[in-house]
Each structure stands twice: as structure tokens, then as C-alpha cells.
């Protein structure tokens, strides 16, 4: 009987050890990210979206237009400009906005998408080019680093590809 109890206790201890070993990276990820940020390490703009160039105030929410991002050699993806709608919780059920991406004072694209009530719902939207500097995209979702529409926390992030000749 004693051997059986010791065997069961050993298996339980092994299972708990394995569970803890597999859980530690997920639990510590926030702390590791903060340590990297405090140490001065920065994510490449291809992954972070770059820096905010200007903010457009709307009734109850903001549209943040980022500076264009052009991947460096050996980085995957194509050039893009990121647009964030903040806070997602204050957005109307349907977005249809004309946005000046290059800062020249004229709208470059018309963005439209539905804001799902469930934050986990995958999103799809359309980007209509208002001039020949951009391409029209239909059904854009979480397709690639350079072209996607997704909700991340309390933000909806849209990345619009830039022409290569720019």
C-alpha cells in the first residue's frame, strides 16, 4: 500500500513540475517585456507599427495615423502605414472614415468596417483608395504584417500597404 501511495505521489509531483515548467514563460512574459522596455530595447517598427505622426479627434474616439514603415533588408513584409482607432469601446457599430495618410490635407483612403460587440470576433473591412497613390483592398483581415485589420486590447489597428515606388 505504501509503495502505491509513493508511486501516485511521485506521478502527481512530476505532473505538477511539468505544469509549472510549461506555465512559467507565460506568467513571466509581462515582466520580461517590461524589463526589455526599461533596458532601452525597442521593437522594430515592422512589428510595433512605428510612431504616431498625428491624431484625428472624433466624437468620443481618436484616429491615430502612424508614420510610414518600410521594412529593412531581410525583414519580411511590404511598406505600410498603420492607423489605430482608440478606444475601441467608444467606437460606433460601423466605421466609415476618410483618412489623410500622408498629411497633405486631402483624404487618401476611405476605411469602412463593422465593430463587433465581441472583442474576440475576427474583423474584416475595406479600404477604398481616393487617389492613385494607394490600392483599394476589400475584405482585409489579419492577413499579414503589412495588411491587416484586428482588435488588440482597446484598439482597432489597420495597416494599409504603401506602393513600392514611394
pLDDT tens-digit map of 90-120: 999 999 999 999 888 999 999 999 999 898 9
* Predicted local distance difference test score (pLDDT) of residue 166: 45
3-class secondary-structure state, position 107: coil
Task: Give the span between the Cα atoms of 112 and 98, in whole angstroms.
Answer: 9
pTM over 0.85: no
Q: Which of these, 117, 113, 98, lies nearest to 158 by C-alpha position? A: 113
Domain coordinates of the chain in residue numbers? 1-41, 50-161
DSSP assignment of 44-62 equals: -HHHH---EEEEEE-SS-E
* Predicted local distance difference test score (pLDDT) of residue 139: 92
Residues of the chain with pLDDT under 50: 166
Strands ordered across the beta sheet of 155-161: 52-57, 62-66, 80-86, 155-161, 148-152
Burial of 70 (0-12, 13-18, 19+ CB in 10 A): middle
* Predicted local distance difference test score (pLDDT) of residue 70: 83
Amino acid at each position: 500500500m505504501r509503495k502505491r501511495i509513493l508511486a501516485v505521489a511521485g506521478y502527481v509531483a512530476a505532473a505538477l513540475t511539468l505544469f509549472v515548467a510549461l506555465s512559467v514563460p507565460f506568467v513571466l512574459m509581462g515582466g520580461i517585456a517590461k524589463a526589455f522596455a526599461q533596458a532601452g530595447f525597442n521593437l522594430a517598427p515592422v512589428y510595433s507599427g512605428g510612431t504616431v505622426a498625428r491624431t484625428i479627434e472624433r466624437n468620443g474616439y481618436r484616429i491615430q495615423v502612424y508614420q510610414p514603415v518600410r521594412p529593412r533588408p531581410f525583414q519580411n513584409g511590404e511598406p505600410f502605414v498603420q492607423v489605430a482607432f482608440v478606444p475601441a469601446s467608444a467606437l460606433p457599430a460601423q466605421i466609415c472614415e476618410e483618412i489623410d495618410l500622408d498629411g497633405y490635407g486631402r483624404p487618401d483612403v476611405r476605411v469602412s468596417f463593422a465593430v463587433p460587440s465581441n472583442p474576440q470576433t475576427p474583423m474584416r473591412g475595406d479600404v477604398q483608395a481616393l487617389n492613385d497613390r494607394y490600392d483599394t483592398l476589400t475584405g482585409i483581415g489579419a492577413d499579414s504584417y503589412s495588411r491587416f485589420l484586428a482588435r488588440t486590447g482597446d484598439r482597432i489597428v489597420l495597416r494599409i500597404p504603401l506602393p513600392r515606388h514611394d
